[in-house]
Every structure is written in structure tokens, then in C-alpha cells.
């Protein structure tokens, strides 16, 4: 079982959901920094017509070691055309890189692929990528803009074994049937969490789904409704949801709004 309160790091197959360019840049910078710290080969996929402001080169200008890594080839920018999304091409690139580096990292903004790949093909690649990240020293971060991707974030999240990161909120699958929810849940991200919850509970055959809230430090009233509403279809089908490890301030709100009296919702006593 994953540790209680575990949050996604920057390794594995990770979904980065961003609202605006500043959030995206912060996430990419942290992901690249992690790659440099572990000495990984870093592939970064960009459209050839990307604006200078959104380019990886511009993002890393204030990091001398990252600039040096680009010059040496440790960080390699790859154009977002049909070839780069071919699984055989990716396999060859990974094999070649692993001869020189202990691990490989790969990242792309989903919007860079929408013009060259149908949605069904993208979903297939996400699933195959997750398997690669589980079985090899490979980490992939997929970047999705929140507003443009809200209708697909839920289904996409199920293919990311390392979880989802947003500016304030993080989710990660548990080894048991369930999800760890960490950070802050408010009006800025509750639609994202609702999509993730609906997708996570839709396909599970298990009669019990665990929501580990030990890393959730803030939730507003709308966020509580999201926890209830996002699991409602699963509970209507007869499933039970256990809310585990809530922090005292979160537990008080859950108790105040009678969450434990909702059909199929079980509140585990703190501590």
C-alpha cells in the first residue's frame, strides 16, 4: 500500500494540469530540475511554430546548468510531428539514451499533439506509456491545459500511474482501489477533482473505494460537495467509499456537513 498522505513527485507517468502559462512553466521547470538532479536524458516535445515565450529554451534561460545540458544534448527538444508519437520510434530513442544515461524523461504539452493525432490514438499512447514507465527507468510528464481538457482529464488521469498535479491539488492512485487526495481543494480545482473521481470509480469492480485525505489541508464547502458528488454514481451502484485519514480541520467540516450520513460514505475515525 502506498504511504498514507503520499503525494505525486516528479517521476513516473505524471499528469500535469495547468491553468495558464505561469503554472505550466513552474511545473515544467520543476520536472526538468528533477531530471538534471538524477542525471537523466530529457526529451522535450515542442511544436516547430511554438512562440519563443512558450519554448523550453526561454523557460530555462535563468538556469545555467540547464542551458549547458541543452548544449551538450542531455536535454533534447524534439519537434511534435507524427513520427515522435510513434511507439517504435520512442522505443528506439529510449534504448539509445539508456546506453549513456541511467534514466530517460519525456514531456510534451497535449495541445502539441492535438493537430497531428486523433484522440483515440492519444489515449492508446497514454496507456502504452504508463506501462513503459512502470517497467523501465522512464518518466513521462503529460501537460494538459485545464479549461481546454476538462472533458478528457478524467479518462486521461486513469492512465497516469504516478498521479495528477495541479497548482494546489494532487491526486495519486493507491495500490488498493482508491485515490490519495492532497493539497487544497477549492473553486479553482474542484471540477478537475470531480472528473478524476468519476473516472477512477467508474471502472473499478471493487465494492470498496478508499479516499485517503491525510494530505488534504484545505477544503471549502464546494469541495466537500465534490467529494460527495464525484463518488455518487459509484455509490448508487452499491459501492462504498471510505474517507480515510482526514486532517482535523478537514474532518470537522466533513462532520459539520453530515458527510458520514450520506449513503455508502464511511468516515474512518481520525488517528
Q: Are residues 94 and 72 in the same domain?
A: yes
Task: Give the pLDDT score at 51.
Answer: 87
The residues with which 20 forms a beta bridge, in sequence order, are: none
Mean pLDDT of the chain: 91
Residue 225 lies in a domain: yes
| Whole-angstrom distance, CA of residue 127 vs CA of residue 88 | 15
Domain extent at residue 150? 8-166
Task: Give the pLDDT score at 82.
Answer: 58
- DSSP per-residue string spanning 175-216: SSSEEEEEEEESTTTHHHHHHHHHHHHHS---SEEEEEEEEE
Query: Given the DSSP bridges, would you call strands 13-18 and 164-165 parallel, antiparallel or unpaired?
Result: parallel
pLDDT averaged over consecutive 10-residue blocks of the chain (271 residues)?
Answer: 56 96 95 97 91 91 94 94 76 95 95 72 85 95 92 91 95 93 96 96 89 96 97 95 96 95 89 59
| Whole-angstrom distance, CA of residue 73 vs CA of residue 144 | 26
pLDDT digits (tens, 9 = 90+) for 6-37: 556 899 999 999 999 999 999 999 999 999 99
Task: Give the pLDDT score at 143.
Answer: 95
Q: Is 141 left (phi over 0), alpha (psi -120 to 50) or beta?
A: beta
Number of domains in the chain: 2
Q: Are residues 152 and 215 in the same domain?
A: no
Residue 262 lies in a domain: yes
The residue from 151, 166, 181 where one domain ends is 166
Residue 2 lies in a domain: no
Amino acid at each position: 500500500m502506498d504511504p498514507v498522505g503520499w503525494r505525486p513527485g516528479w517521476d513516473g507517468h505524471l499528469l500535469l494540469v495547468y491553468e495558464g502559462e505561469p503554472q505550466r512553466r513552474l511545473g515544467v521547470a520543476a520536472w526538468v530540475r528533477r531530471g538534471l538532479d538524477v542525471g537523466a536524458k530529457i526529451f522535450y516535445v515542442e511544436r516547430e511554430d511554438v512562440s519563443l515565450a512558450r519554448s523550453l529554451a526561454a523557460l530555462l534561460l535563468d538556469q545555467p546548468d540547464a542551458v549547458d545540458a541543452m548544449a551538450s544534448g542531455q536535454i533534447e527538444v524534439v519537434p511534435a510531428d507524427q513520427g515522435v508519437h510513434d511507439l517504435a520510434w520512442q522505443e528506439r530513442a529510449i534504448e539509445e539514451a539508456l546506453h549513456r544515461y541511467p534514466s530517460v524523461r519525456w514531456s510534451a504539452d497535449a495541445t502539441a499533439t492535438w493537430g497531428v493525432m486523433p484522440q483515440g490514438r492519444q489515449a492508446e499512447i497514454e496507456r502504452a506509456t504508463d506501462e513503459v514507465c512502470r517497467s523501465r527507468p522512464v518518466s513521462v510528464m503529460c501537460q494538459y491545459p485545464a479549461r481546454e481538457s476538462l472533458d478528457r482529464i478524467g479518462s486521461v488521469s486513469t492512465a497516469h500511474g504516478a498521479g495528477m498535479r495541479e497548482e494546489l491539488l494532487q491526486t495519486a492512485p493507491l495500490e488498493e482501489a482508491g485515490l490519495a487526495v492532497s493539497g487544497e481543494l477549492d473553486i479553482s480545482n474542484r471540477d478537475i477533482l470531480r472528473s478524476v473521481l468519476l473516472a477512477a470509480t467508474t471502472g473499478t469492480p471493487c465494492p470498496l473505494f478508499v479516499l485517503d485525505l491525510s494530505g488534504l489541508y484545505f477544503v471549502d464547502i464546494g469541495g466537500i460537495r465534490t467529494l460527495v458528488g464525484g463518488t455518487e454514481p459509484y455509490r448508487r451502484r452499491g459501492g462504498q467509499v471510505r474517507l480515510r485519514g482526514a486532517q482535523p480541520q478537514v474532518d470537522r467540516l466533513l462532520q459539520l456537513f453530515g458527510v458520514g450520513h450520506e449513503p455508502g460514505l464511511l468516515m474512518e475515525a481520525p488517528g
